[in-house]
Structure formats: structure tokens, C-alpha cells
């Protein structure tokens, strides 16, 4: 994997590129997002993001997980991508955002997780279902009619998490961006033309204004571009609907 920016090198030092210090924000963790898209902008191939990736993308994927102390993901992504517990290089809890709590509680993510899975939900979720989920995961109520991303991240900070990694999906990431909560975006551009009507990495919610990205590093491997952006700060706004 070669480094294109900021200092061209035939062999990139991934820890140097991605492993810089990340300090928690006031009242919430530092939030970085890791996403992949085809060259024509699709965030999924045959309904899943995994088909877009390659060895370099997977290497960065695992490195970013090692740098975070909680992984944030939407319930629909858990269902589609068949999420499993994170065990290596150390157990890291997965925080699932779900209003409906329509989750398969027999999956390994709940039944076999070495770090207990966290569910971010809201008061409107069915109380009986909340009790069922609480038997296998830590349930956190963050909002009334919908999951509030500001309250959800604050709850993660209260549990001691300083760096959160969002792995999507596009609807959750769009809502986090619109709320001004994302600090960093790691984006892989896959050398594929996917076509079709697949989602982009942001779907649904539209930010009040375009969010400016600052390119921090660019790598290349077998046609894949791996880009690390920092995101200009914006004041978070409460009350944005999150989850599935």
C-alpha cells in the first residue's frame, strides 16, 4: 500500500497515518466514521458494503477498530452485514442504534459478545421488547419518540468511551453529520462501477449546509483509494431521529 499524501512513500505506515491522538469532545466521544463507496458513489453492492472492499480496505477496517473503544452502528446494518462480536485485538463493545428493537437476540453479537453489546433506543420503544433486549444487552434510552444522537453519544461518554467508530449505515451517518457530531471520515473508494440505485454514504437526512472536508492523508492499493478526512466543526443539534 503506497502513500500519496501528505508525504509520498512506496510503503505507507498505517499506524502513523491513522493512529494519531484523538481527544474526546465536550460531553461525547471523538467520532470517526469508516465507509466505502464505489467509484460511481454507491455504498453497497448487491445490498451489502462488504462486496466493495479488498485486502487494503479490510486492513484499515481492523486497524480503526483497534483504535476505538466502542463501535457505533445502525440496527439495519447489523442485520444486513451480519455483525459479530469484536474480539481482536481486544474486545470492544458494539453500540447498536435502534428505535424498533427489531433485532435477532440469538445472534452471536448478543449471545456471545465478550464485551456486552449496547443498545441505544428511545422511550417510544415497546417496553416488553426493551425488557427482552435488556436480558442480553445493555439498553440505554436516549430520546423520547426517536433516538437522539446527542444523547446517545453523551451516554457512551458517561460509560467511559472516548473514541467511537461509526460503521454506518448511510442513514445513521447522515443523521450524525447533520447533527454536527462527526469529527473524522475514513473513506475507501473502490475501483468498481456498481450502477443501480444503491445508497450513497449519506442517505436521507440532509445537512443544513454542505460539510467541508479537509484531506489529511491519501493511500492507494490495487486501484483502491483510502482517504482520511477531518471534518470542520459544527454545533450539534438535539432532536434528530436516528436508528432503525
9-39 residues labelled b (16+ CB within 10 A) or e (exposed): eeebebeebbeeebebbeebbbbbbbbbbbe
pLDDT computed for residue 21 by the predictor: 87
- 150-181: pLDDT as tens digits: 999 999 999 999 999 999 999 999 999 999 99
pLDDT above 50 for 45: yes
Domains, the chain, in order of start with CATH, read 25-33+49-231 (3.40.430.10)
Query: Cell 492507494 maps to which residue?
Result: 220
Q: What is the mean pLDDT of residues 183-190?
A: 97
Per-residue pLDDT band for 240 (boundaries 50, 70, 90) equals very low
Under DSSP, is residue 184 helix (H, G, I), strand (E, B) or coil? strand
- CA trace torsion 210, 212, 218, 223 (10° rounding): 10
pLDDT above 50 for 238: no
pLDDT computed for residue 208 by the predictor: 86
pLDDT above 70 for 124: yes
pLDDT computed for residue 234 by the predictor: 46
Of 238 and 16, the one with more pLDDT: 16
pLDDT computed for residue 244 by the predictor: 57
pLDDT above 80 for 120: yes
Q: How is residue 35 annotated by DSSP?
A: E
Amino acid at each position: 500500500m503506497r502513500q500519496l499524501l501528505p508525504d509520498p512513500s512506496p510503503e505507507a505506515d498505517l499506524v502513523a497515518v491513522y493512529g494519531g491522538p484523538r481527544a474526546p469532545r465536550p460531553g461525547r466521544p471523538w467520532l470517526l466514521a469508516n465507509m466505502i463507496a464505489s467509484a460511481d458513489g454507491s455504498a453497497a453492492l448487491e445490498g451489502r458494503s462488504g462486496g466493495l472492499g479488498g485486502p487494503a480496505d479490510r486492513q484499515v477496517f481492523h486497524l480503526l477498530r483497534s483504535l476505538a473503544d466502542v463501535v457505533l452502528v445502525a440496527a439495519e446494518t447489523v442485520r444486513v452485514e451480519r455483525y459479530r462480536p469484536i474480539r481482536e485485538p481486544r474486545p470492544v463493545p458494539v453500540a447498536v442504534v435502534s428505535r424498533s428493537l427489531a433485532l435477532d437476540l440469538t445472534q452471536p453479537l448478543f449471545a456471545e459478545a465478550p464485551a456486552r453489546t449496547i443498545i441505544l433506543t428511545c422511550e417510544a420503544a415497546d417496553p416488553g421488547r426493551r425488557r427482552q433486549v435488556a436480558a442480553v444487552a445493555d439498553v440505554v434510552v436516549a430520546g423520547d419518540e426517536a433516538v437522539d444522537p446527542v444523547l446517545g453519544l453523551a451516554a457512551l461518554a458517561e460509560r467511559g468511551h472516548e473514541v467511537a467508530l461509526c460503521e454506518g449505515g448511510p442513514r445513521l451517518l447522515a443523521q450524525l453529520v447533520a447533527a454536527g457530531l462527526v469529527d473524522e471520515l475514513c473513506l475507501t473508494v473502490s475501483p468498481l462501477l456498481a450502477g443501480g440505485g444503491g445508497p450513497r454514504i449519506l442517505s436521507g437526512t440532509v445537512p443544513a449546509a454542505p460539510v467541508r472536508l479537509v484531506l489529511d492523508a491519501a493511500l492507494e492499493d490495487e486501484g483502491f483509494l483510502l482517504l482520511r478526512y477531518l471534518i470542520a466543526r459544527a454545533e450539534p443539534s438535539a432532536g434528530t431521529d436516528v436508528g432503525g
